[in-house]
């Protein structure tokens, strides 16, 4: 599946679910997660992915109908506050004005969390009025990653969204198609062994639940999520609630008891390698994985 990040205007499909950290500031959020998660107890990775799918649907609906649109409400309240302060005969802030100011402060904090998540900044925490900085970085990322036109083989350019998608699909279909591939045995015979017996013994030790948690908490919390829409932050924050089920599902895969069909599903995000790319070869494809696949990537070798 090919996914160009931040391409709302080029996509005709429904919006892709993305977990928002700013939701956590709402008083009802913890109860919503608890209620949805405890509804069923998944026994396999397929069940766990279905549970996350149902949770994402609930969160999307709740986000629209209860949490609301932060920037839209913030703009509306700022207008109301300005009108209150310009009202004839005003002698000072009344109760209503104070409540509006309190709500604006709350919304500004949520807005900062939203832009921090989109900026992918790892070294700076929200607070100290960093909203402008996070917004600037997120906007810069959006502009840099946007594919608005590509050069055709005849040298002409196209900006048609459908043609851009077709060109990308055909380019990577061709790139990842094997031609005259040598047999696996022939390739392996040419590879020098670099895994010692001690390393191999360590790799063959049965997996333990503590390793799942350790791998999860090695991940940067807000790295771009995969097709499920949940970043590592969600599982880290709610580990007491979901950790046991996530651990069981992952261990079933590692022990060979469960081999879910979609575990290797990824988004491919195209990152420009040059300032103004004109051809698909000038982009670096980055795989954005499901959280379960990412766990396997961070597994024992990374923690040893």
Among 19-23, 70-74, 112-116, the minimum mean pLDDT is found in 112-116
The pLDDT value recorded for residue 294 is 62
- What proportion of the chain, given as a percentage, has pLDDT over 70? 76
Please indicate, yes or no, if residue 2 is contained in any of the structural domains.
no
CA distance 222 to 219: 9
Res. 300: pLDDT tops 60: no
Let me know if residue 136 belongs to a domain.
yes
Query: pLDDT tens for residues 138-159?
Result: 566 666 677 888 999 898 999 9
Write down the H helix ranges in the chain: 29-37, 45-62, 70-85, 95-119, 131-145, 161-175, 184-189, 197-203, 209-216, 232-237, 239-254, 291-297, 300-303
Q: Is residue 184 part of a domain?
A: no
Residue 250 lies in a domain: yes
Domain total in the chain: 1
Tell me the per-residue pLDDT of 82-134, one tens digit each, with 9 for 90 and over.
888 888 888 888 889 899 888 888 888 878 877 777 766 554 555 545 656 55
pLDDT tens digits along 178-211: 666 667 777 777 888 888 889 888 878 888 888 8
Q: HSE on the CB side for 188, CA within 13 Å? A: 3
Straight-line distance from the first to the last Cα atom of the chain, in angstroms, rounded to the nearest whole number: 33
Whether residue 276 lies inside any domain: the answer is yes
Q: Is residue 287 part of a domain?
A: yes
Q: pLDDT category, 25, cuts 50, 70, 90? A: confident
198 located within any domain: no
**22 occurs within a structural domain:** yes
pLDDT at site 130: 62
Q: Is pLDDT larger for residue 66 or for residue 126?
A: 66
Q: Which domain holds residue 270?
A: 8-175+205-303
């Amino acid at each position: 599946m090919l996914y160009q990040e931040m391409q709302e205007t080029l996509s005709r499909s429904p919006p892709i679910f993305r977990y928002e950290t700013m939701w956590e500031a709402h008083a009802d959020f913890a109860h919503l997660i608890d209620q949805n998660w405890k509804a069923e107890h998944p026994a396999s990775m397929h069940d766990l992915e279905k549970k996350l799918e149902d949770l994402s649907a609930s969160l999307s609906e709740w986000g629209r109908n209860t949490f609301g649109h932060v920037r839209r409400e913030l703009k509306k309240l700022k207008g109301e506050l300005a009108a209150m302060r310009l009202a004839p005969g005003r002698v000072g802030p009344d109760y209503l004005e104070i409540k509006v100011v309190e709500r604006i402060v709350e919304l500004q904090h949520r807005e900062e969390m939203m832009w921090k998540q989109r900026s992918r900044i790892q070294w700076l925490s929200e607070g100290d009025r960093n909203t402008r900085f996070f917004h600037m970085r997120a906007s810069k990322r959006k502009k840099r990653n946007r594919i608005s036109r590509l050069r055709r083989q005849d040298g002409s350019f196209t900006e048609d969204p459908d043609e851009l998608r077709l060109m990308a699909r055909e380019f990577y279909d061709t790139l990842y198609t094997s031609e005259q591939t040598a047999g696996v045995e022939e390739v392996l015979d040419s590879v020098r062994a670099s895994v010692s017996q001690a390393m191999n013994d360590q790799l063959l030790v049965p997996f333990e639940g503590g390793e799942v948690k350790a791998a999860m908490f090695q991940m940067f919390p807000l790295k771009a999520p995969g097709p499920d829409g949940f970043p590592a932050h969600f599982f880290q924050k709610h580990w007491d609630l979901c950790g046991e089920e996530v651990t069981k599902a992952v261990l079933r895969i590692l022990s060979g008891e469960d081999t879910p069909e979609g575990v290797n599903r990824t988004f491919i995000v195209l990152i420009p390698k040059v300032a103004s790319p004109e051809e698909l070869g000038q982009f670096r494809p980055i795989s954005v994985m499901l959280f379960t696949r990412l766990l396997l990537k961070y597994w024992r070798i990374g923690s040893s």
